[in-house]
Amino acid sequence: MEKTIWPGSTQLAPSPVVLVGTGDGRRFPWNLLTVAWAGTLSSDPPIVGIGVRPSRFSYRALKELRCFTVNLPTAAMAETVDFCGVASGADTDKFAVRKLTAVKASKIVAPLVAECPLSLECAVRQVVSLGSHDLFLGEVIAVQVTSDLIDDKGHLDLEKANLLAYAHGHYYSLGKELGHFGFSVRKK
C-alpha cells in the first residue's frame, strides 16, 4: 500500500483523555486540567506519565506540591473534559462551573473528581523537561474506584464505566469489547 511520509509529529492515537487534579486548596486552589498526553509507563512500581506545558496555570502546583490525581472521565463527561481543557484555573473555578465534586484524596493533597469512576492518586517521582512539555512521572500510591463497578468476585468491570477516549482532536466513547489479554492463544 502506498504511504505518504510526513515530518515527525504527535499522531499517536487513540489516547486517554483525563482530568488531572492539582493544588492543595490552600496555597494553590484545587484545579483541574485536561490532559491527553498521558499513559501508564511502569507496572512495578505503578508509574503514570503526564505531559504538561510549563505555561499552564496548574504547572506550579504540580512542580511545588509534587502530586496530582488522574481522573478517568466517562463519555457523558466529554463536554466537561473539553471545558477543563480550554478554561484556566487562573480565573475560573472549574469544579464550580461544571458542577463537579472535589473530594479529598487519601494520600495526597490534590483533589479527586467524585463523578469520575476511577481516580489515581500520584506522587511525583521525576520531572523531565522534553521541550514544549515537561513529563511528570507519578507513582500511583492509591486508587479510588466507584464500588458499583466491582463485581462479587472483586473484579473491576470497566466496560460499565463507558470511558472517554481521544484521537486527533476528537472525543470518542469506547466501542464494544473485541477480546481480552491473551485471547489469541487461549484454547477455545
The piece of 30-38, 96-104, 112-120, 174-182 that touches ligand FMN (CB under 6 A) is 30-38
Q: Minimum distance from CB of 56 to ligand FMN (Å)?
A: 4
Q: Minimum distance from CB of 173 to ligand FMN (Å)?
A: 15
Q: Minimum distance from CB of 94 to ligand FMN (Å)?
A: 7
Pair 154, 2: CB distance under 8 Å: no
Size of the site for ligand FMN (CB under 6 A): 22
Q: What are phi and psi of 172, to 5 degrees?
A: -135, 155
Residues 90-129 that bind ligand FMN (CB under 6 A): 90
The piece of 33-41, 104-112, 116-124, 174-182 that touches ligand FMN (CB under 6 A) is 33-41
Residue 180 to residues 5, 105, 158, 162, 185, Cα–Cα distance (Å): 33, 31, 13, 17, 11
The beta-strand segments (E) located in the chain are 15-16, 18-22, 31-35, 38-42, 47-52, 67-72, 102-104, 111-113, 118-129, 134-145, 164-167, 170-173
**Residues at the contact surface with ligand FMN, assessed by CB under 6 A:** 17, 31, 33-37, 51-53, 56-58, 82, 85-90, 133, 166
